[in-house]
């Protein structure tokens, strides 16, 4: 009887463990089955490299290059803002911060990571958009606004992961640096940071993954015009925004083209994941 129960439960545990495999398989299956035919119908090059997205025209044109570029630009902008600040904050947390202050700062950064994206989006809408509008003119909803907001959003990810990477560097590296006459800063920046390189890279890649997949915050501040990105202060539309804005009323080929947009996004994410696991293997 007990033996019986043991093997049944083992089977249940095994089945549960396979759920994540099943989930990934289902997600791939449903996205690709619904998205690939649309790509074929539109033509893979017309779809990926087409510069106009006018699904309601006759004949409609489904080119998502504007959105691909939009996603890449906004993410790059976010990285330019978020990566240096994030890494420097991580340096402070790992090497400067007194223990007492750490007990306050660490939860604060965790909190920054926990704030829902919709709240970030709202904050961007009521604070950053008017600020950009008043400072640089235009509508305020722009690539720059989205980059700043996303830069803030990826800060805690980059700071947190980089911090543990810096902490994983043996203390002897730092002491060796000091012994050779380097200052505190020089030991950290020229001895410890290079040693923590792959961990910090992993943090950056993780942050980029978050930025490229972010949806709700971006659509509230980016302007969402479906045309080729025209400048830092002009509105852009990202891949994620394209999906969520039009999915509500899209039908037939338009709908399928949106799913194909998600496929493109998914492929981006898979590439990022692959990079991440390569980096992790190097750290491990």
- Between residue 47 and residue 106, which ones bind another protein under the rule CB under 8 A? 84-86, 88-89, 91-93, 96, 105
The residue within the footprint of another protein, chosen from 161, 166, 192, 265 (CB under 8 A), is 265
- Minimal distance in Å, beta carbon 107 to another protein? 6
| C-alpha to C-alpha distance for 81 and 152, rounded to whole angstroms | 8
- Taking the least distance from each CB to another protein, the nearer of 58 and 172 is 172
The one among 129, 195, 277, 282 contacting another protein by CB under 8 A: 277
Find the shortest distance in angstroms from Cβ 154 to another protein. Answer: 12
Measured from the CB atom, the residue of 6 and 230 that comes closer to another protein is 6
C-beta of residue 126 within 8 angstroms of C-beta of residue 164: no
Rounded Cα–Cα distance for residues 245 and 84 (Å): 32
Residues 156-215 that bind another protein (CB under 8 A): 159, 183-186, 188-189, 209, 212-215
Q: Which is nearer to another protein, 42 or 159 (CB)?
A: 159
Closest C-alpha among 70, 52, 68, 49 to residue 60: 52
Output the smallest distance, CB 231 to another protein, in A.
Answer: 25
What separation, in Å, do the N-terminal and C-terminal C-alpha atoms of the chain show?
43
**Where in 226-255 is the site for another protein (CB under 8 A)?**
240, 243-244, 247-248
208: helix, strand or coil: helix
> Cβ of residue 57: shortest distance to another protein, in angstroms?
24
Taking each helix axis from N to C end, the angle separating 252-283 and 197-213, rounded to the nearest 10 degrees, works out to: 170
**Two tokens at 216?**
């709700």
Report the residue from 203, 220, 222, 236 that binds another protein according to the rule CB under 8 A. Answer: 220
Rounded to 5°, angle at Cα 270 from 148 and 163: 50
Q: What is the DSSP string of 40-59?
A: HHH-HHHHHH---EETTSSS
Q: Cα separation of 148 and 128, whole Å?
A: 8
Q: Assess 14 for contact with another protein (CB under 8 A).
A: yes
Site string for another protein, 114-133 (x = CB under 8 A): xxxxxxxxxx-xxx------
Q: Which is nearer to another protein, 27 or 40 (CB)?
A: 27
């Amino acid at each position: 009887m007990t033996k019986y129960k043991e093997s049944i439960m083992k089977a249940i545990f095994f089945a549960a463990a396979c759920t994540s495999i099943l989930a990934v398989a289902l997600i791939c299956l449903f996205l690709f089955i619904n998205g690939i035919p649309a790509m074929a119908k539109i033509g893979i090059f017309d779809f990926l490299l087409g510069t106009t997205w006018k699904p309601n025209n006759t004949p409609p044109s489904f080119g998502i290059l504007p959105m691909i570029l939009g996603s890449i630009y906004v993410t790059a902008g976010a990285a330019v803002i978020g990566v240096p600040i994030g890494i420097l904050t991580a340096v402070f947390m790992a090497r400067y911060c007194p223990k007492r202050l750490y007990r306050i700062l660490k939860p604060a950064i965790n909190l920054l990571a926990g704030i829902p994206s919709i709240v970030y989006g709202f904050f961007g809408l009521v604070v950053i958009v008017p600020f950009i509008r008043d400072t640089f003119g235009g509508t305020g909803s722009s690539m720059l606004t989205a980059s700043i907001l996303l830069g803030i959003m990826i800060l805690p990810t980059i700071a947190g992961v980089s911090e543990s990477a810096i902490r994983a560097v043996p203390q002897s590296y730092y002491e060796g640096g000091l012994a050779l006459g380097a200052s505190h800063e020089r030991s950290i920046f020229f001895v410890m940071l290079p040693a923590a390189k792959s961990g910090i890279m992993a943090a950056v890649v993780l942050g980029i993954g978050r930025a490229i997949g972010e949806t709700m915050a971006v659509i509230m501040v980016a302007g969402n015009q479906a045309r080729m990105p025209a400048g830092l202060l002009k509105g852009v539309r990202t891949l994620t925004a394209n999906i969520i804005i039009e999915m509500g009323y899209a039908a037939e080929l338009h709908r399928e083209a949106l799913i194909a947009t998600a496929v493109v996004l998914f492929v981006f994410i898979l590439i990022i994941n692959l990079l991440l696991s390569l980096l992790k293997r190097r750290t491990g």
